Amino acid sequence: MPVKKLKQKAISSPLVTHIYTADPSAHVFQEQIYIYSSHDIDSTIPEDNLGSQFAMQDYHVLSMETPGATVIDHGIALSLQDIPWAKKQLWAPDATEKEGLYYLFFPAKDALDIFRIGVAVSCSPAGPFKAHAQPITGSFSVDPAVFKDRDGVYYLYFGGIWGGQLQHWRTGQFVADKEGAFAQLPADNEPALCPKVAKLSNDLLSFAESPRDLLITNENGQPLLEADKDRRFFEAGWMHYYGGRYYFSYSTGETHYICYAIGDSPYGPFTYAGRILEPVIGWTTHHSICSFQDRWYLFYHDSSLSNGITHLRTIKLTELHHDKNGLIKTISPYSLNG
């Protein structure tokens, strides 16, 4: 568990306080910022390393005209009861727009308790969204993040270990654990599991190809190892494009950093470049990055509103800066003299 910093002063305030929100996916649609959010609830489910306590049942959409402006909660955008194939756990979503329609990508567990990724569609960025009857064929794991490249091609990034189940898919098929919850993770001296990426079909409702590994390497071009827990991928992938290069950012999980790596293609490989965000109050770290009026912003969450309860989180934002070489300045979420 990270060190709780409840007595330190946060650099940012919660965007909303009437509900618990998490996993912010921020985009600019119709000249304002829309944030697609998980909705945390106090489920009373005991906490475990598989995230059973994260029992979210719906998604909310928040919007603001500019950073710092009044935030509007547009209410429930999609509910578990309206997804035919989903059984439980509506974890981190993302959204995109194409030809006047808005697409919400989301993970949920199916009847077999296996995470799949679904898609729902709306004619409004605020929803409500209507889910397709089945998840995306060939989808698995969690944390979908959709990226539209400059040529109009859309890619879906996804994956998360531990409760996100990515380790179950090392053979290409789901293999249940038989020797402990994390028996299928790589050994410390083996390459860490990679996030996944797949090009989307023209209608954004299916994969146009089989998902492939998104390789993250060290400065010498070697894959990051499982033992490198300060740098290796855990969950919460995100892609943005800046200065002619692709930036893949992600959470390191139990070491609680948001890190990033840089590549020349949406498929990678990506070279580790540094940290974006230091640890926050709580356990999970999940973020998004978007630009608005030529300035860049980091959206993230912590558990400050719930006084450190890990599954009751709140969304925040702060400005993000790239230096003259394109490197991102590391952000501390709390002031040193708070």
Q: Is residue 23 annotated as a catalytic residue, yes or no? A: yes
* Cα(73)–Cα(94) distance, integer angstroms: 16
* Cα(54)–Cα(41) distance, integer angstroms: 8
Chain centroid offset of residue 313 CA: 14
Q: Catalytic pick from 40, 94, 143, 235?
A: 235
C-alpha distance from residue 87 to each of 41, 108, 212 (Å): 16, 7, 27
* Contacts by 188-192, CB closer than 8 A, 24 or more apart: 188/225, 188/226, 188/227, 189/225, 189/226, 189/227, 190/225, 190/226, 191/223, 191/224, 191/225, 191/226, 192/216, 192/223, 192/224, 192/225, 192/226, 192/228, 192/232, 192/233
* Cα(136)–Cα(157) distance, integer angstroms: 13
* Cα(158)–Cα(73) distance, integer angstroms: 26
Residue 154 main-chain phi, psi, to 5 deg: -105, 140
Q: Catalytic pick from 23, 73, 143, 302?
A: 23
Q: Is residue 235 annotated as a catalytic residue, yes or no? A: yes
* Cα(173)–Cα(156) distance, integer angstroms: 19
**Nearest-CA neighbor of 165 among 193, 198, 189?**
193
Q: Is 281 exposed, middle or buried (0-12, 13-18, 19+ CB in 10 A)?
A: buried
Catalytic residue annotation: 23, 235
